[in-house]
């Protein structure tokens, strides 16, 4: 599973441009389930198990990552861009980017020695940033890139003991867990959705859920961990190494309480996500048709939505174990 995660993280796939990840996942799972792709680009998998569950169960993990999209080229050859998903300006400054998997550039802004005293005290605005690809004119830049091209901030995949450092852990972690379940779990039938465009508003999951019409859903995600220096314990959200985080509420959903309680009362290492913040595909999944009982299992990630997110391998294994546990409990009626 961790080998698969590395391969997934090294693929570039911003929202609306998930083809490369989808093709990789198709190759991984095609011999273990029935696969189809809907009109929006979601990969829909049906895994046939030994038994049919009491409830139709859907698992969701999104394929897209945050990134950039080129919106204009200046007369002197610089690229203006819009972020795709939530990226803080501080993680973009002077970072190398890769455009359409082939053109290298760097995100630039006014040099500090040309900035005023007031400008030095605050981050530059996103609108004042640009990508420098070494072009000296608009014409020269247009020979290499086009408006609408996508870019990601470059990153390596590094294993440092139990920690993983990489871009796109949100949500290639969820994709890796779901791939492993499709390959190795066969007790009950379930649907697995590898969804598109989560980072720009949970769009893919809305379409997929309507089509599948599940009774219950398990959302596999990455979430913010703030267990870092100078953050008080009541603000840490969740802690690396303490297991997968189970949400009770966020900005998009109030989660189905019996599933939340059941997960936390298991013998599997997990923790509550102790902040009502952020959101994920649950926001649209739980509202589909006449409602879907939903739980979110999220792996803690420090520095999320950056090129150097950090996750703990043990939390990923915890997510895999708890997800299987929840499938069994929902399927056999242990939780209503």
The residues, ordered by sequence, that sit 6+ positions from 61 with a Cβ below 8 Å of its Cβ are 171, 174, 175, 177, 178, 192, 193, 194, 195, 219, 220, 221
CB atoms within 10 A of CB 308: 16
Which phi and psi angles does 47 have, rounded to 5°?
A: -100, 115
Per-residue DSSP letter, 321:
H
Strand order in the sheet with 309-312: 158-160, 163-166, 309-312
The residues assigned a catalytic role are: 198
């Amino acid at each position: 599973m961790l080998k698969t995660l590395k391969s997934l993280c090294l693929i570039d796939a911003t929202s609306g441009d998930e083809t490369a990840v989808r093709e990789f996942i198709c190759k991984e799972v095609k011999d273990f389930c029935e696969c189809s792709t809907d009109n929006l680009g979601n990969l829909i998998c049906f895994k046939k198990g030994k038994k049919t569950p009491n409830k139709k169960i859907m698992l969701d993990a999104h394929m897209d990552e945050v990134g950039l999209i080129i919106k204009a080229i200046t007369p002197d050859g610089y690229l203006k861009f819009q972020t795709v998903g939530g990226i803080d300006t501080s993680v973009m400054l002077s970072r190398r980017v890769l455009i359409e998997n082939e053109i290298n550039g760097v995100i630039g802004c006014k040099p500090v020695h040309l900035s005023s005293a007031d400008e030095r005290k605050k981050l530059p605005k996103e609108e004042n940033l640009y990508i420098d690809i070494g072009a000296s004119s608009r014409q020269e830049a247009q020979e290499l890139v086009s408006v609408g091209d996508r870019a990601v901030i470059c990153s390596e995949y590094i294993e440092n003991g139990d920690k993983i450092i990489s871009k796109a852990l949100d949500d290639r972690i969820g994709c890796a867990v779901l791939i492993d379940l499709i390959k190795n779990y066969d007790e009950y039938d379930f649907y697995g959705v590898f969804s598109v465009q989560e980072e720009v508003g949970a769009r893919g999951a809305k379409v997929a859920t309507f089509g599948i019409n599940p009774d219950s859903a398990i959302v596999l995600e990455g979430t913010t961990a703030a267990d870092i220096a100078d953050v008080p314990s009541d603000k840490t959200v969740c802690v690396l190494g303490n297991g997968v985080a189970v949400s009770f509420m966020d900005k998009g959903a109030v989660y189905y309480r019996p599933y939340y309680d059941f997960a936390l009362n298991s013998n599997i290492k997990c923790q509550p996500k102790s902040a009502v913040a952020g959101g994920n595909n649950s926001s649209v999944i739980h509202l589909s048709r006449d409602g879907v009982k939903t739980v979110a299992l999220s792996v803690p990630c420090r520095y999320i939505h950056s090129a150097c997110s950090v996750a703990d391998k043990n939390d990923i294994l915890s997510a895999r174990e708890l997800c299987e546990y929840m499938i069994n409990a929902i399927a056999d009626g242990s939780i209503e």
